[in-house]
Amino acid sequence: MVEKKNLLKFEEYFGEKVISLELIKKTDSSMIYLLITNQDNKYALKMSNKKQDAGKEYKNHKIVFHIWQDNKDKLSFNIPSVHFYDKDYNYYVMEYVKNSTNLQELIFNSDTGRLKHIFHKIGKMQYDYHQIATSALKDKRRSLLEHNSVKTEVESNSGQHFLALYDSLPKDSYRFLLKDFKPTNVLIDEKDRIWLIDFQNINYYAPLYYDFARFIDTMKIFSFISSPFKYVLYRRRIACLIDIFIRSYGENISLAHINTARKIHQKEHIIMKKKKGQIPKMLLLKLLYGILHDNLS
């Protein structure tokens, strides 16, 4: 929890007084606040929990922002600028994206025409990110198999099957991943501009199909959890949007490889909850993946 007394370094850094602090998003690993100053400026403040290092994400965010800034004239998405890190209280401050909503919240609450346009841009954004990140970060490669939860799965009794799935994905599909690419980490502003957030992991070099899998699986899971009735009612819309997202990528994408990557992602997602000690969430996730998993065709 952020308190006013934690913001003295912020006020000194910006020369502004904090007059309002509102929690706007909470996840397993962090809390995000809207911070308003006496000069009526708005900032987003992200505080990591004790097990996460906000300094790492702050550095990653700066790296990605500068890569984006060097290429922004040819890109159709945005990255919030990043300002200040306070290591004592484990938070950093970034640009606040005004009048924005995360993509997940729009799926049941926006018209189909608008969503088709947005998902077309999301597909292009993913391609563009893969291109610029893979070019700029080529000396910082880290295998996805080194990720803690993936490593746990590889070392389990089903590890050989997991590796066989992973190795079946084409070697020429390797890119630097967004890794935690999901609709809740994509903001859409009032002009339908795309903003990408969350940079805890930027160095994983792996099949690009993993990013497709993460995005599709989390979209389905979060949509179902928010409203099972609406999920069933809008299942054709969801399938249509996923299809537009895939086809808008700048290369031909194999649905069979996405299906394989989804098996990999779902195993990792379940084991991740287990490693965090979130057993009820793990069991629920396992149940939902059993219900909602369907191969793309």
Q: What is the number of structural domains in the chain? A: 2
Query: Do 186 and 280 sit in the same domain of this protein?
Result: yes
The answer to the question of residue 115 being in a domain is yes
Query: Do 41 and 113 sit in the same domain of this protein?
Result: no
d(CA 72, CA 78): 8
Q: In this predicted model, what pLDDT tens digit does every residue of 255-275 receive, in sequence order?
A: 999 999 999 999 999 999 999
d(CA 193, CA 212): 20
For tokens 């088709």, what's the residue? 116
Distance between first and last Cα of the chain? 45
Query: Do 127 and 256 sit in the same domain of this protein?
Result: yes
Range of the domain at 150: 101-292
The CATH number for 77's domain is: 3.30.200.20
Query: Do 164 and 138 sit in the same domain of this protein?
Result: yes
200, 180 contact by CB (below 8 A): yes
The answer to the question of residue 297 being in a domain is no
The answer to the question of residue 31 being in a domain is yes
Greatest pairwise CA separation for the chain in angstroms: 58
Supply the pLDDT for residue 53: 86
Q: In this predicted model, what pLDDT tens digit does every residue of 225-262 receive, in sequence order?
A: 999 999 999 999 999 999 999 999 989 999 999 999 99
Supply the pLDDT for residue 43: 97
Which of 62, 95, 128 is where one domain is finished? 95
Query: Do 76 and 106 sit in the same domain of this protein?
Result: no
Supply the pLDDT for residue 66: 97
Which of 95, 119, 154 is where one domain is finished? 95
pTM of the model: 0.94
Q: How confident is the model at residue 51 (pLDDT cuts 50, 70, 90)?
A: confident
Which of 50, 66, 95 is where one domain is finished? 95
Query: Do 89 and 105 sit in the same domain of this protein?
Result: no
